[in-house]
Amino acid sequence: MGANVAHKFRTGLKPQAFVESMTKNQDTYQNWSDAFSWEDEQDRAFFASLQHRDDLRCLILAADWCGDVVRNLPVVLHALKETDMPVEIMVMEEHLDLMDEFLTMGGRAIPVVIFADTGGHVLIKWGPRPKHVQAVMTAFKQQNPDRNAPDYEDKIKVARSEMLEQYGEGTAYQQVIVKELRELLSSI
């Protein structure tokens, strides 16, 4: 990936401190967290097998006001808890320099889950949402490049509604995130 995030190590919040500091959406976050379960024991075993990888670190750009963070971060943290990997939450507004290194289609979309080695060299990243949900926003941005167009706000509301439909009513999306993270981490 080329980027180096070593200067950000030990400047974020521990996951529990981030959750405790939430002033928005804490109950919704907790509900999604409580709803998590391992549906595939092989997935859980894969994440647990990373406990021997003392060469990996994880930084997560997040903010409590973001719906994707509230929905997706609990899944990421449950999976990473199995690894014993050092994980820090970087509140986006406090780390805009880092955020601007990890834009999604030119925009500040969160969460962004960054995996680096102990030297801070970025190996892979995930986010801000599962691929099938992100596909809706990708298509929207390609079809609506002008943020100042008179109908932009109306169209983005439709896209956000479609993204919620892609997430679905239940927790099936959580297993999608687990599989995407497993696939990425298997590559390093």
Structure-token match 């995130």, residue found:
177
Strand partners, 88: 59
Mean pLDDT of 74-94: 97
pLDDT of residue 138: 94
The 10 Å Cβ neighbour count of residue 92 is 21
What percent of the chain shows pLDDT beyond 90? 96
Residue 145 has pLDDT above 70, yes or no: yes
What pLDDT score was predicted for residue 74? 98
Q: CATH homologous superfamily for 6-128+177-186? A: Glutaredoxin (3.40.30.10)
Give the percent of the chain with pLDDT over 70: 99
In this predicted structure, the answer to whether residue 102 has a pLDDT above a threshold of 90 is yes
Q: Which of 78, 52, 54, 65 lies closest to 24 in space, CA to CA? A: 65
According to the model, what pLDDT value does residue 2 have? 74
Domain boundaries, given as residue ranges, for the chain = 6-128+177-186
Omega of the bond leading into 128 within 30 degrees of 0 (cis): yes
Q: How much is the average pLDDT of 6-17?
A: 97
Residue 185 one-letter amino acid:
L
Position 137 confidence tier, pLDDT thresholds 50, 70, 90: very high
pLDDT for residue 1 is more than 90: no
Per-residue confidence (pLDDT) for residue 160, from 0 to 100: 93
- Which phi-psi region, left, alpha or beta, contains residue 168 (left: φ > 0; alpha: ψ -120 to 50)? left
Q: Averaged over 11-38, what is the pLDDT?
A: 97
